[in-house]
Amino acid sequence: MRPVHNTSYRYPHEDLILTLTLMLVFGVIFFTATATVCGSVLFVGAMLIIAYFATSNQHQSLLKTAQKVTPQTHPQLYEMVEECRATLQAEPVQTFVANRNALNAYTFGLTSPKVVVIYSALGDVMDEDEAKFIIGHELGHVRLGHTWLNSLVGGMAGIPSPFMGAILMEAAFLWWNRACEYSADRAGLLACGDVNKAISALLKIGVGLQVSQGMDAQRALQKLRDEMNDTASNFGELFATHPMIAKRIDELKKWAASAEYGKLVRG
């Protein structure tokens, strides 16, 4: 696939949600007596310093407990990361494989190079195209600025404020987090180039390692749709960093059928 030089695949509401989140954060700062502007700035600065040292410690821990991906240690995975990075025009990253029995991957870092961590269990259930979706998803977070913004906006959302104000800021921040996941899913689709493989990767993550190995796609999707139709699950999503998998699949299918996606694929 040709390199994607722009970020027009960003989920359309992500910037709006971030703007509303920031407006709400500053609104709470302005209208509450418990947090002065000066105190809030100091708080955000302290949170950023803490985040910087936390990510540094996490990086050092990974060097001791996980295996760094290089052309020598994981040649196939290294090539996949570089291919996805070239497609999305993402900055160089350090990739690690952590020995974990869970289907997960994540990225972190305030400064470059950002770090992508892939759990080893993914290699047991994902084929190459599904793995590219996972890698592309994480690189999408890097390319779109989510990785460092998460630390910045997260620190702002933690500014001391009255109880209701704190709840509103946290909910707004999580709302933006969920929008970021939709954008990163689009990046994953661009990286793997196959919507069916992107969906199957999400299905496997959604139903978990133990279930995914013995469940067909239709039953897995039905299981996730039952969750989407559950009132308690929908309420719980308000305080979650990720949208429900069934919603992510629906959004991805809708975007894959759009003219915008076709234009990006054609270059």
231-263 burial: b if 16+ Cβ within 10 Å, else e: eeeeeebeeeebbbbbbbbebbeebbeeeebee
User: Is 2 domain-assigned?
Assistant: no
User: Is 124 domain-assigned?
Assistant: yes
pLDDT (0 to 100) of residue 218: 78
CB burial of residue 79 (10 Å; 0-12, 13-18, 19+) = exposed
pLDDT (0 to 100) of residue 262: 94
Residues 34 and 28: their CA atoms lie apart, in Å, by 10
What pLDDT, in 10s, does the model give residues 102-149?
899 999 888 899 999 999 999 999 999 999 999 999 999 999 999 888
User: Is 4 domain-assigned?
Assistant: no
Cβ 44 vs Cβ 153: under 8 Å: no
User: Is 1 domain-assigned?
Assistant: no
Q: Which residues pair with 95 in a beta bridge?
A: 116
pLDDT digit of tens for each residue in the chain (267 aa)?
778 888 888 888 898 998 888 888 877 777 664 545 566 667 667 767 777 777 778 778 887 899 999 999 999 999 999 999 999 999 999 999 999 998 999 998 888 999 999 999 999 999 999 999 999 999 999 999 998 888 666 544 444 445 555 677 778 889 999 999 999 999 999 999 999 999 999 999 988 765 555 567 777 788 888 888 888 888 889 889 999 999 999 999 999 999 999 999 887
Provide the 8-state DSSP code for 91.
P
User: Is 114 domain-assigned?
Assistant: yes
pLDDT (0 to 100) of residue 249: 96
User: Is 145 domain-assigned?
Assistant: yes
- Taking the CA atoms of 200, 3, 256 and 9 in sequence, report the sign of the dihedral they define: positive
Number of helices (H) and strands (E) in the chain: give both, helices first: 13, 4
Number of domains into which the chain is organized:
1
pLDDT (0 to 100) of residue 162: 52
pLDDT (0 to 100) of residue 212: 56
DSSP notation for 153-206 = HHHHHTS---HHHHHHHHHHHHHHHHHHHHHHHHHHHHHH--HHHHHHHHHHHH
User: Is 9 domain-assigned?
Assistant: no
What pLDDT, in 10s, does the model give residues 89-100?
999 999 999 999
The amino acid sitting at 81 is: V
User: Is 5 domain-assigned?
Assistant: no
| E strand spans, 57-159 | 67-68, 93-98, 105-108, 114-119
Domain limits for position 113? 14-266
